């Protein structure tokens, strides 16, 4: 079995044959996985110390630039990961 055949088999039969309650569990697991990944990505944008070498200092700056100027979106006073968590928390 190739990796393409494996993905095709999962896509075409495994999920479709699950009972509805099991499909709901799979969907919930996927939603939580995506939310966790987004949270960690935003956390690193807010504070890259988790991925830089010990002793190295630096920052990421996510900026929106438009006709009215530029806005830093990952402001330290209002971290993106905290905002995201407040919007997706159960």
In a domain, 9, yes or no: no
Structural domains counted in the chain: 1
Token duo for residue 84:
């995201």
Q: How confident is the model at residue 90 (pLDDT cuts 50, 70, 90)?
A: low
Q: Read off the pLDDT of residues 17-56 as tens digits, 9 standing for 90 and up.
A: 899 999 999 999 999 999 999 999 999 999 888 788 888 8
In a domain, 83, yes or no: yes
CA distance 90 to 38: 16
In a domain, 64, yes or no: yes
In a domain, 1, yes or no: no
User: What DSSP assignment string belongs to 30-86?
Assistant: HHHHHHHHHHHHHHHHH-GGGTSPTT-------EEEETTEEEESS-TTS-HHHHHHH
Stretch among 46-50, 70-74, 80-84 having the lowest mean pLDDT: 46-50
In a domain, 24, yes or no: yes
Contacts of residue 52, Cβ cutoff 8 Å, sequence gap at least 6: 58
Domain of residue 32: give its range. 19-88
Report pTM: 0.73
CA distance 76 to 68: 22
């Amino acid at each position: 079995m190739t990796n393409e055949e494996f993905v095709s088999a999962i896509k075409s039969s495994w999920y479709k044959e699950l009972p509805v309650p099991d499909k709901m569990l799979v969907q919930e697991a996927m939603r939580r996985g995506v939310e966790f990944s987004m949270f960690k990505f935003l956390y690193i944008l807010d504070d890259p110390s988790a991925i830089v070498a010990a002793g190295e200092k630096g920052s990421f700056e996510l900026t929106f630039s438009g006709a009215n100027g530029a806005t830093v979106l990952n402001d330290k006073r209002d971290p993106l990961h905290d905002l995201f968590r407040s919007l997706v928390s159960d």
